[in-house]
Structure 1
Amino acid sequence: MLVVIGHLISTVRTDTELGFALYAYIYLFHMPAMIALSGLFSKPEVTPKAIASTVQLVVVWLAWEGIWAVLRGLVEGKHLSQSFLVSPAWTLWFLVSLATMRILLPYIARVRHPLALATGLALIAPLLPAIGVNFSAARTLAFLPFFVGAWLAREHGWLSGDWFMAPTRALRAGAWALLGAVAAAMAVLALLPGGLRGLWRIDRWLTHRDSYAWMFANAPVGGWDANGSGVAGWFGLAGGGILVGGLLMLLAAAMTLALLLIVSRTHSIATVWGARTLYVYLLHGVVVWALRESGVVDSIGELGWVGIVILTGISVGVAALLSTAVVSKVFRPIVEPRIDWLFRRDDASATR
């Protein structure tokens, strides 16, 4: 649901302080949380089932790259660019990053301190401008600590205690307090003269696509621009980038844990809908794209903060609709295609 909201308000987020603050708040933790959940259920063993699962991600990615190419060709008249398949189309970066992380996990798991390695890579990668959107390399490295950290938590049983499996009211209240405090801070900053957007284009830091040099040049933190020239300037850029990146990573980790603590442990309709997350992730892009191309998003966005509230409500409805059984039944061939025919008969049987 947070993904759908973020994408639907994305093109109008800078029109209002509410839209910008809401977008920044969501992007502080929603993708780290999704990556962490993926890592929580990943294993470093290279089994036939694990291989099939990773191959299926790649197959779905390739299929949807084709779907997006056809849609944009028919509606927008766009031809295949030189970056086709090299730079994943819009939301498809997640599939590429997830497949890459699963492939890397068996190797990372063999080092002595896997989380330290993943964190180091995440903080150092933005120093290299060449690491960008191609094959989602920048985002893969940026979110790798959440994937590895969640895998370690499951591997070592850090989340198997009652404190997590059945959190107390006090712990849940603390989690709500953290999420609420960050939201309140965003609201206060948005009300200041110039607003949060005038103080810091934090949204550019939270997409994890660009280098520290680009971000400090285009989204300096307040009046602090660490983007300098020469050797001294490079060290200032590196130190500043790692400091800001590290703080954002810690905040994302804390908010992700808080989110997991407040999620209900009981079974409900939301539990059933939650099993169809991939349908929402892949299909909502087409819905959001259609609403943008038709001018609906811009028209609603012109209503100011009321428009942001309306777009948020639409996002909730879209997420709920795409979570239904009917949608999963109709779109299963392009979201969860059967790929048993790709494997030898004995391996295909082992994947079921």
Structure 2
Amino acid sequence: MGASVSSAKTRVALWDNARFALIVLVVIGHLISTVRTDTELGFGLYAYIYLFHMPAMIALSGLFSKPEVTPKAVTSTIQLLVVWLAWEGIWALLRGVVEGKQLSQGFLVSPAWTLWFLVTLVTMRILLPFIARFKHPLLLATALALIAPLLPAIGVHFSAARTLAFLPFFVGAYLAKERGWLTGEWFMAPSAKIRAAAWALLAGVAGALAATAFLPGGIKGFWRIDRWLTHRDSYAWMFDKAPIGGWDANGEGVLGWAGLAAGGILVGAVLIAVATAMTLALLLVVSRKQSIFTVWGARTLYVYLLHGVIVWALRESGAVAAVGSLGWGGVVLLSLIAASIAAVLSMKWVSVLFRPIVEPRIDWLFKPAEASAPAAPRPQP
């Protein structure tokens, strides 16, 4: 997160408003995840959200990241690591007590559920000083994102696949801030025409997804795009488990591998382009004015970490399945519940109560000179 809420007046409302909008999408996506294939609406909504919500969250983190390895940056990064380790323990305890599960062999190696974001953000912060020294850092980040899925070994361990998949958004946002790409009036005070174009793009993507519902088998019958949008697996796995229509890019021999590589890189490039366009469109339509959502947007780390426990409890109790069984109406109801969860977890009393496990004080870990440095910026999910 950014600075404390008490300093919200010094913050740019745009970024916090965007954070709150995105965290609502995060909660909706997680709440409907287990019932998404039950209806065309659920699947389409899930696909729409996952096309851009995490790239946008990563981009907002990149906007406020710097390649300098200062004591302040080190403190902030280590705090992220501490939070990750604490929450790995919390999830292990919850699953051990409620589900009777023992620690898996992937404990701490494969981040638990939503915790991949913290590991990815730490890794990106560590990589940024090196990538920023290249002549074309965004080109390098994009190349890594497109080539990495060719290697099956790059997967969920330490969130490597997702880190590389989302790296262009982190680096691109850092460059946008560094080089002033977003300082023009077209972005800071977009005209009605620009906002209309942005809304048209967001609606157009929704319309394209809706149109696929009329294909034989619906959206998911044509393409299980949801399996691509999690960015956890190789091109070979994704083409095997989620082929696009009748396109089979998995072949035999060198030519088959070349076809797989070309097809995977093409799809990956399209997904990056769509996510970039939707992220920019969202930032153009988000309000630039202060509101309650601005205040709530300063506390998105609390929502990100705490909502997982609530969603997990609702799943385990059967509540999500019960509401999801209502069909399209159930998807709408789950979305409203998710938005309510995000709003409640954004309230001040939540941040006061759960601060020790979301934003723990770690000054005692450092030398006095470093501990007395200005407070490190809080992580931005």
Partner in structure 1 of residue 254 of structure 2? 231
Q: Which amino acid aligns with 1:49?
A: K
Q: Is the 8 A contact 2:216 2:222 kept in 1?
A: no
Deviation string, structure 1 residues 280-337 (Cα, Å, up to 9, x no partner): 0000000000000000001111111111011001001000000000111100100000
The 3-state SS of whatever aligns with 2:373 is helix
Q: Does 1:37 align with 2:60?
A: yes
Q: Does 1:164 align with 2:187?
A: yes
1:119 is displaced (CA, Å) by: 0.2
Unaligned runs of 5+ in 2: 1-23, 376-381
1:145 is displaced (CA, Å) by: 0.1
CA distance in 2, matches of 1:233, 1:349: 59
Q: Does 1:144 align with 2:167?
A: yes
Q: Is the 8 A contact 1:48 1:347 kept in 2?
A: yes
Q: Does 1:317 align with 2:336?
A: no
CA distance in 2, matches of 1:169, 1:60: 42
Q: Residues 10-29 of structure 1 correspond to what in structure 2 (within 5 A)?
A: 10-29=33-52
Partner in structure 1 of residue 11 of structure 2? none
The equivalent position to 1:104 in structure 2, one of 106, 112, 127, is 127
Q: Does 1:332 align with 2:363?
A: no
Structure 1 runs of 4+ aligned residues shifted over 4 Å read none
CA distance in 1, matches of 2:216, 2:69: 55
Q: Residues 263-274 of structure 1 correspond to what in structure 2 (within 5 A)?
A: 263-274=286-297
Deviation string, structure 1 residues 143-195 (Cα, Å, up to 9, x no partner): 00000000000000000111111111110111000000001111111233311
CA distance in 2, matches of 1:327, 1:190: 40
Q: Residues 79-228 of structure 1 correspond to what in structure 2 (within 5 A)?
A: 79-228=102-251
CA distance in 1, matches of 2:237, 2:260: 10
CA distance in 2, matches of 1:201, 1:193: 13
The 3-state SS of whatever aligns with 1:350 is coil
Q: Which amino acid aligns with 2:78?
A: V
CA distance in 2, matches of 1:335, 1:228: 47
1:141 is displaced (CA, Å) by: 0.1
Where relative contact order (Cα < 8 A, 6+ residues apart) is larger, the structure is 2
Scaled by the length of structure 1, what TM-score is found?
0.99
RMSD of equivalent CA atoms: 0.6
- Greater Cα offset, 297-306 or 91-100: 297-306
Aligned residues: 352
- Greater Cα offset, 300-309 or 238-247: 300-309
Q: Which amino acid aligns with 1:235?
A: A
Q: Residues 249-288 of structure 1 correspond to what in structure 2 (within 5 A)?
A: 249-288=272-311
1:47 is displaced (CA, Å) by: 0.6
Q: Which amino acid aligns with 1:203?
A: D
Deviation string, structure 1 residues 197-238 (Cα, Å, up to 9, x no partner): 100000000000000000000101111010111000000000
Partner in structure 2 of residue 50 of structure 1? 73
Q: Is the 8 A contact 2:110 2:159 kept in 1?
A: yes
CA distance in 1, matches of 2:334, 2:109: 32
Q: Does 1:303 align with 2:303?
A: no
1:99 is displaced (CA, Å) by: 0.4
1:75 is displaced (CA, Å) by: 0.2
Q: Is the 8 A contact 1:48 1:351 kept in 2?
A: no
Q: Which amino acid aligns with 1:250?
A: A
Deviation string, structure 1 residues 242-278 (Cα, Å, up to 9, x no partner): 0000001000000000011111001000000000010
Partner in structure 2 of residue 349 of structure 1? 372
CA distance in 1, matches of 2:243, 2:104: 32
1:137 is displaced (CA, Å) by: 0.1
Q: Is the 8 A contact 2:215 2:222 kept in 1?
A: no
CA distance in 2, matches of 1:67, 1:205: 29
Over the matched positions of the two proteins, sequence identity in percent amounts to: 77
CA distance in 2, matches of 1:35, 1:103: 14
CA distance in 2, matches of 1:286, 1:108: 35
Q: Which amino acid aligns with 1:181?
A: G
1:348 is displaced (CA, Å) by: 1.1
1:44 is displaced (CA, Å) by: 0.5
Deviation string, structure 1 residues 90-112 (Cα, Å, up to 9, x no partner): 00000000000000000000011
The 3-state SS of whatever aligns with 2:231 is coil
Q: Is the 8 A contact 1:58 1:95 kept in 2?
A: yes
The equivalent position to 1:4 in structure 2, one of 18, 27, 37, is 27
